[in-house]
Amino acid sequence: MCVAQNNRTLHRNFQGYTTKAGADLLGLGVSSISGNRPDLCAESTALKDYGAAIERQELPTMRGIMLNDDDVLRRAVISRLLCHCVLHKAEVEAEFGIRFDEYFAGELEKLEAFRATGS
């Protein structure tokens, strides 16, 4: 994991840190989570509800989230900070077609107080 972090090939998903980028994860079973880019879904956490859905020949999905472009961008920024402890704004700008400082102007303004005080 340290080598992957140094090489900037470390990634994170809901299961933890990994060196497998972009892998779709199919969760099977009670309380499993699937991550199929860009969507997420969670299966029922109660065995009886999960079983009942299967008996009805339905998906036992308890909750699903379809990520929008903003969600995907923010997930990428957070992931890079968590995995690499550094963020190259030019990379984000090139990948998402944004001007980083403009897009995140509100967030950067909120962080300024911490930078100014060294917090």
In this prediction, residue 49 carries a pLDDT of 92
pLDDT tens profile 102-119:
999 999 999 998 888 887
- Once rounded to an integer, what is the mean pLDDT over residues 77-104? 95
In this prediction, residue 1 carries a pLDDT of 83
Q: What's the CA gap between 38 and 74, in Å, rounded?
A: 12
In this prediction, residue 51 carries a pLDDT of 92
- Once rounded to an integer, what is the mean pLDDT over residues 84-108? 96
In this prediction, residue 118 carries a pLDDT of 82
Segment 35-38 long-range contacts (CB within 8 Å, at least 24 positions apart): 38/66, 38/67, 38/71, 38/72
Q: What's the chain's average pLDDT?
A: 89
